[in-house]
A and B are shown apart, each in its own frame.
Chain A
Amino acid sequence: MRIAQIALQTLLVLLLGPLVTGFIQKLKARLQCRAGASLWQPYRDLAKLLRKGTVQSDTASPFFRAVPVLVLAAIATAATLVPVLWAPAGSAHPRLGDAILLLALFALARFLLAIGALDAGGAFGGMGASREMTVGLLVEPALMMAVFSVGVAGGTTDLVDLAARRGAVEALAWQAPDLLAFFAVLILTIAETGRIPVDNPDTHLELTMLHEGMLLEHSGPGLACIALATHTKQLVILALVAALFFPLGLSPDAAPGHVALALAAFGAKVLALAVFLAVVESSYAKLRFFRVPQFLGLGLVCAFLALALRVL
């Protein structure tokens, strides 16, 4: 039963991921007074890439072909760990992983993508890998601190238990550390989803790319896998923020009414966060790469204060 729930919600995240990207693009376009591409454009891109052939760099090792698949698998595995619709209370459900494992799976995906980029042997790939690893290692501790801060309050780092417990007991009984942690997480979400002002997902100017720089040598179905992984990762992060700070409306059982409510609540939460990303992205310019650590430092300080307030 629980396994079916996990499989269903993972499938949901995988299917809805591109839609969220499409929505953000559309909203951005409207904010910039453009018509913008259709909401479904990311799906069309994926379908197109899946039909295409592949061109592989002649310097790449056999590992290069496996990179997109492993990256997608790591992100999809992370998607199984976050509560989307169901959060049954109690310890009956099978144990998969907690927030730490989820962040570690993101790190695994980043690691694999980075060595894939080094494999192709172009300067842009290496540059992208180097920068992405740099930003990643600055984001990771701060995000971990924010998760710990919530974890100390909820008594566990298991996201399902955390959401079930906090959702049931104190609806929106936020305390000061929650506010700080939420602020930190908002900053880090921008970095982790690769958006302005940290990274620019739309750029194709090689020197300004972080994440995209690593994808230059991937093509066809491989690129489709990575694109899907990027969409999924974005939605997983939004779901993680929702589970940590707004664990409302999650369904404790399989009753259709509860599930419909959970679906609506999930949609609303993701919508709100997506609007946030789109608005931020339309109102700021991309930061110079060596300004990014200061921007992330703000997140780190807030996250650490949030944890310190909980522990003291």
Chain B
Amino acid sequence: MVWTGHLLVLAFSLVGGAGALGVLLKGAAPPLRVALPHLFPFATMSLAVDGLSAFFLLVIALVAAAAALYGPAYLDAHAKSPVVQTVSLGLFVACMAIVCCAADAMTFLLAWEGMTLASYVLVVIDMQSEENVRAGLLYLIMAHAGTAAILVAFLVLASHVSHAEAFDFTALRAAARDLDPTTRTTVFMLALAGFGAKAGVVPLHVWLPKAHPAAPSHASALMSGVMLKVAIYGILRFGFDLLLPAEGPLPASWGWTVLVIGTVSAVIGVLLALQQHELKRLLAFSSVENVGIILIGAGLAMLLCRGRGSQELATLALAAALLHALNHAAFKGLLFLGAGSVIHRTGIRNIDDLGGLARRMPWTAWLFLLGSVAIAALPPLNGFASEWMTFQALLLGGARLGGASGLLAGLAASMLALTGGLAAACFAKAFGVTFLGRTRSLQAERATESPAPMIAGMVLLGAACVGLGLAPGWALRLLDAPTAELSGIAASAVVTSQGPLVLSAGGGAEGLHATSISLTAVAAVFALLAAVAWIIRGWPRRAPSRLAPTWTCGMTPTSRFDYTGTAFAKPLRLIFAAVYRPSREIVKDVGSSPYVLRMLGYSGEVVDLAETVVYARFKRWVTVGAQTIRTYSTGRIHGYIGFVLATLVLALLLFAGARP
């Protein structure tokens, strides 16, 4: 049953991926449309696949295929109702696919809700853990608050459309063309808040690092790698398609908002990721960072879109955002599967208790390293390709926009550079402490390599990381259809105009010329030089090569000498103390003499400011409100009926009177 379910998901994602590729590579064509059965009297339902949908379908298919390969072997060990897990996984993937293909608001919202509920089941599958149940509840609340905002956005749009086809995207699009600017911006901000809650932008991210790690690892990979992208899809669909004004540029407030929240999410996300010692939670925080990077590209594209002569730059920014969405799906999926593989074999989530796994689980370790290099935006892998494009877009766009917007772009570029450095430190820690050095626990000592199907899932995503980096021409070919739809120019005409192996950024203001790099050539040079260096290093010589214990100042080396993740991140904890507000507690147990220490306990933690400042305050208000209501909440049904009636009368008086 479990195997069949996962094979079905695999088949489904292969077919879906192939279909999406077909749509993307065919070039300009009218979108495919499929009408769905007429379920509701007030709305017709249908699916349509255009370039943007097809691109996000491809993202879903990539990670879903890897997760389906990986899942059955993983579930063998974590056999908490595997059938329920398989069914929810299938539903989850299907709902995400339908969200991306929906051609009307009704289908969109139903699938959106299905996606939330299916992933909720995956989060709380381990009902014994109190923490998971709380994480699930928080997730459910945040997700529904977001859905409510999206629903209102749709309803505001739908109120401008005739009754018969009230929810169809085509009708909504037509209605949005002559909205007044204030309503348009309000609708966009509502949608942004709704999708932002799902995408985990700061400060709406608090649920994400709790809920994502709670799910089984391949479901975490889907949640972090794909579900966040579905939210990005929503933002792009609203910003560039549904709410597009008839003419003129998009309102500057949209681009500003998206760029600012993107920058803040990127920096805060990675700063918090750096201080985590639970591998999957670290990865979840890093997803907040990457969503931020995607939004930086998207926000810049909004600022530049339809500006005078800046359409090419808008395309560059948009292509950077979309490519980063695909890249992040690949490497975050890979890293979550790698983390799952470690947990599968050791049962330990805290990296400070692991260590030394590279010699015990070589495949997992090297694939995790590949993912770490990719996510730290180091060349020549795919993470660097999309960050380079984002940098170029920010630089050229900043110079083009000038003034306050240009300064904002410059600030975003500096924060992006900081993010890259922090991500490198974060993943040096994550990989180094988990896989290198000595083992710090018995479980890690006894670990063995994961079974082949799990490795296969990771290899698939690892290959994507390498391929998307070294052959950017092919990757950008996939972006042609969505960018052509959203900004009018195909991505490969801008970014790979000088051949499929060369990334170039041009189209700036007068006097700004194209900059080109070729990651493929650089990777070839790197490989060549490494080969030469390897030969020189390994040149036969008489001097011997031997193994010896690491020098530990004359003491017997034990695993206590290894640097832990907590220690690795300590300098940054002190430097960024304003953000972290670190606290620590040291318990000393001294015997008869104060100089003889019998036991030393250390515990320290950093806080998520959003959680302690914003949410704690909000929670307090809610509690106070609830206490106040409590006096009136007597438990008698008559009283409640009275309240309902009073509310109804009040509502009728207020709103019915407005009709002429």
Contacts and interface: CB of A to CB of B under 8 A. Distances in A.
Contact of A145 (B379, B402, B414, B517): B414
B417 interface: yes
Nearest to B570: A130
Contacts of B516: 91, 95, 98, 158
Interface in B226-269: none
Contacts of A59: 356, 437-438, 549-550, 557
Interface string A171-208: 00000000000000000000000000000000000000
B365 to A, nearest CB: 8
A225 B436 contact: no
A61 B395 contact: no
B386 to A, nearest CB: 12
Contact of B417 (A50, A91, A118, A140): A140
Contact of B413 (A96, A129, A144): A144
Given A96-B521, A101-B379, A130-B567, A156 B513 contact: yes
Chain B CB within 10 A, most for which of A56, A110, A148, A300:
A148
A57 B546 CA distance: 9
Contact of A155 (B498, B511, B545, B552): B511
A134 B575 contact: yes
B453 interface: no
A252 interface: no
Interface stretch (A33-41, A74-82, A243-251, A268-276): A74-82
Contacts of A118: 428, 432-433, 436-437, 562-563, 568
Interface string B368-397: 010001001111000010001001100100
Interface of B: 356, 358-359, 365, 369, 373, 376-379, 384, 388, 391-392, 395, 398-399, 402-403, 406-407, 409-411, 413-415, 417-418, 420-422, 424-425, 427-428, 431-433, 435-438, 498, 502, 504, 508, 511-519, 521-522, 525-527, 529-530, 533-534, 536-539, 541, 543-552, 557, 559, 561-563, 567-572, 574-575
Nearest to A141: B417
Contacts of A216: 551
Contact of B569 (A55, A110, A127, A130): A130
Given A216-B551, A312-B403, 5 more contacts: A59-B438, A77-B529, A107-B421, A118-B437, A222-B537
Interface in A114-153: 114-115, 118-123, 125-127, 129-131, 133-134, 136-138, 140-142, 144-145, 148, 151-152
Contact of B572 (A53, A55, A121, A134): A134
A111 B515 contact: no
A85 interface: no
Given A141-B414, A144-B413, A225 B537 contact: yes
Contacts of B537: 68-69, 221-222, 224-225
Given A59-B438, A96-B522, A133 B529 contact: no
B395 A155 contact: no
A278 to B, nearest CB: 28
B409 A311 contact: yes
Contact of B522 (A70, A77, A151): A77
A98 B521 CA distance: 13
Q: Which of A66, A131, A152 has the most CB of B within 10 A?
A: A152
A73 B379 CA distance: 12
Nearest to A70: B530
A104 B379 contact: yes
Contact of A72 (B502, B529, B551): B529
A122 B508 contact: no
28 contacts: A53-B544, A61-B365, A68-B533, A68-B537, A70-B530, A80-B525, A91-B514, A95-B504, A104-B379, A105-B379, A107-B421, A107-B424, A108-B378, A118-B436, A118-B562, A119-B432, A121-B562, A125-B563, A126-B567, A140-B421, A145-B417, A152-B398, A156-B514, A156-B515, A221-B538, A290-B571, A311-B402, A312-B407
